Structure 1
C-alpha cells in the first residue's frame, strides 16, 4: 500500500492477510525495517490481518531530525491504526518495538487486545551508552556500527548456516539514515517502563532468546513478573528471534493470540475502569470523586467505574476520541451542564481539538436546538479560557 501520512511524517506500511481477520500490529527493532517480519508474516497472515511498518527514522518512513521519544514512536503506531481504521489490535514488538508495544499497553490500553514483548525489557541498557552511540553514528555514519552488530543479533550457528540472510540484515542497517537511527537511540535512552508495568491489564506474552546478549532471559523474567497477566516463552535464538527462528516465533504467537479473552471479574473491571476514567477525565478530578465517597454514593461510584468506564469506554468498536465527541453532543442534547463542562475539559485528554468541538456544537444547533447550542458555546468558551489561563506562564 502507499505510504500513510501522519501529522509530520509518512510511514512505509504493508498489510497482509484477510481484511476481516483480527488485526496484528508488528513493531520493528532498532536498525531494521518491516522486512524483518517477512518469514513470520508468511505464517501469521493465514489467520491475522498483519500490519507492519518501518518505524520513524527507518527504511521507507520519514526521518525528521531528532531526538525522538518512545511516546512519539508510540503515537506514530496509534496514528497508523487510526489511518487504517483499526479500533483495536494485537501488538507485537521486538527490542525497540517492544518498548513501543509497552507504551501502547500503558497509555493506549483501549487500542490493545493482546501484547507480545519479544527480546525487550522495561529499560534497555543505560542512557549514556545510547547517547554515545547516537553521537558516533551522526559523526561517522552507519558503516562501523553495521560491521559489529550482526554478531549481537544472531548466534554463530545461524550466521554459519544463513550467512546471506545475516548479510542482508547488515546491509539494511548500513543503508539507514544516520539521523533517524541516532534519534531512535535517544528515544531508547530515555525509556523506562518499570514504574508502569503493574498497571498493564492486557494479556502479555514475553519472548526471550536463550542466547540473547542484549535483552537477556533475565530481562524477560523481570517483565513477566511485573505484569499482572503475563507468560514466558524461550526460543533458541539470539536478539532477533523473529528472524532467526520464525517458525518457533509464530508457533508461540498463534495459540496465545487466538485465545478468547476471559471476562474480567468485578475487581479487575473496576481497576481497568478506574485507569480509563483517570485517562479520560483527568487524575485530579477522579481522585477528588474518590475522596468524596460516602455510604450513600460508594456503590454508585463503583457501578459507573466498572460499567461506564471498565466496559463501555474500553470497547473496541470506537476510539476514545470519537466517544468523547459523542458524549459532548449527548450532554448538550440532555442539557446536562455540569457533565458537559466535565467532558469539555476532558476532551483534550482524548486528542479532541477545539475545532472538532466547534463542529459538534454546530451540529447540535441543528439537531438539539439553537438555545441548547448557544449555552454550550458559552460553556466551551469558559472552559477554553480556563485551560488557557492554566497553561499561561506566570508573568
Structure 2
C-alpha cells in the first residue's frame, strides 16, 4: 500500500505498467475502490503508466469527517497528480470518478489531455433522491441499500456470481462516513455548464443495463463536448470494468491510440 499524504487526507494509490510511459489515471465509483480496475489494467497494452487511487472515504484512503464537496474530491485528484508529478494524463473516471474527471479537466486542463467519462453524467439523480438514500443509510446502514445497488451495477446474469457477491461485500464494508460524504458531493454537483466549456478528446462509455446512469444520460453529457465519441456496451450495467474488463480495456486501448496517448 502506498499513501500520498496530502495534509487533510491520505490517499492510497497503486501504479502499474511502464514508469516512463504516458500516464493514465483511474478514478472509481461510489462504494467501491481502486480494485475495480484490476482486470482492466492487466488487459491494457504495454507502454502506459497506470495510476489508480482510492477516493477519500473509500478503500485504504483516510476518512475525513463531514460532508464532502465535489471541489474537495477534484482537489484530491489534482494534488495526487502533483504529488506523483503527473501531467498530460488521460483521466478515466467511472460514475463518481467521472464527475471528478469533468471537474478536474475544467479546473486543470494542463493535467488532463484526454477524458474517458464512463457510466457517469454532468448531474446524477436529484438532491431529493440523494437525501432519501442518505437518510436510509443513516438509519439502517449501507446494507439497507446494497441489494438495489447491485441491481443497478450488474446485469441480471452476473448478479449472483462470486465476483458480484465480492463487490456487494466491498460496498457494505465501505465507511459509512465516507459513503455519505461522497453522496453529498454528488448531490451538490451540476456540471452541465462547465463540461460544455471543455475542448479535449473525450470518449463516453455507457452500459446497456445501467440502472444508475442510463446510456442516454451518458451520451447527453459527452455530447456537451464537441468532437467527443460514445461507446455503448451491451449486456452490462453500471460497472462494465468489472463484468466485461477485456471489452472495456479494448475500448480504452483504441481511444488511447486514436488520441496519440499510446503509440
**TM bucket, shorter chain:** over 0.9
Q: Could you say what secondary structure the match of 1:62 adopts?
A: coil
Q: Is the 8 A contact 2:44 2:250 kept in 1?
A: no
Q: Is the 8 A contact 1:88 1:111 kept in 2?
A: yes
Partner of 1:226: 224
Partner of 1:121: 121
1:156-212, Cα deviation, whole Å (9 max, x unpaired): 12225xx10001100001111101100100000011111122211111000000111
Q: Could you say what secondary structure the match of 2:192 adopts?
A: coil
Structure 1 residues not aligned, in runs of 5+:
263-395
Q: Could you say what secondary structure the match of 1:197 adopts?
A: helix
The CA distance in 2 between the partners of 1:116 and 1:251, in whole Å, is: 13
Partner of 1:17: 17
Partner of 2:212: 214
Q: TM-score, normalised by structure 1?
A: 0.64
Residue 198 (structure 2) aligned to one of 200, 217, 227: 200
Alpha carbon RMSD of aligned pairs, Å? 1.5
Q: Is the 8 A contact 1:135 1:182 kept in 2?
A: no
1:202-239, Cα deviation, whole Å (9 max, x unpaired): 11000000111211111122123211120010112111
Instruction: Return the index of the structure with the highest Cα Rg.
Output: 1
Structure 2 residues not aligned, in runs of 5+:
none
Larger fraction in strand: 2
1:258-288, Cα deviation, whole Å (9 max, x unpaired): 23459xxxxxxxxxxxxxxxxxxxxxxxxxx
1:75-97, Cα deviation, whole Å (9 max, x unpaired): 10111111111122110000000
The CA distance in 2 between the partners of 1:39 and 1:255, in whole Å, is: 17
- Give the alignment of 1:150-189 within 5 angstroms: 150-160=150-160, 163-189=161-187
Bigger RCO of structures 1 and 2 (CA < 8 A, at least 6 apart): 2
1:48-70, Cα deviation, whole Å (9 max, x unpaired): 11100110110111111121111
Q: Could you say what secondary structure the match of 1:3 adopts?
A: strand
Q: Could you say what secondary structure the match of 2:29 adopts?
A: coil
Aligned length: 260
The CA distance in 2 between the partners of 1:70 and 1:204, in whole Å, is: 21
1:338-393, Cα deviation, whole Å (9 max, x unpaired): xxxxxxxxxxxxxxxxxxxxxxxxxxxxxxxxxxxxxxxxxxxxxxxxxxxxxxxx
Larger fraction in helix: 1
Q: Is the 8 A contact 2:45 2:253 kept in 1?
A: no
Q: Could you say what secondary structure the match of 1:255 adopts?
A: helix
Q: Is the 8 A contact 1:199 1:228 kept in 2?
A: no
1:293-320, Cα deviation, whole Å (9 max, x unpaired): xxxxxxxxxxxxxxxxxxxxxxxxxxxx
Q: Is the 8 A contact 2:127 2:187 kept in 1?
A: yes
Partner of 2:252: 253
Q: Is the 8 A contact 2:141 2:176 kept in 1?
A: yes
Q: Which stretches of structure 1, 4 residues or more, deviate above 6 A after TM superposition?
A: none
Q: Is the 8 A contact 1:16 1:45 kept in 2?
A: no
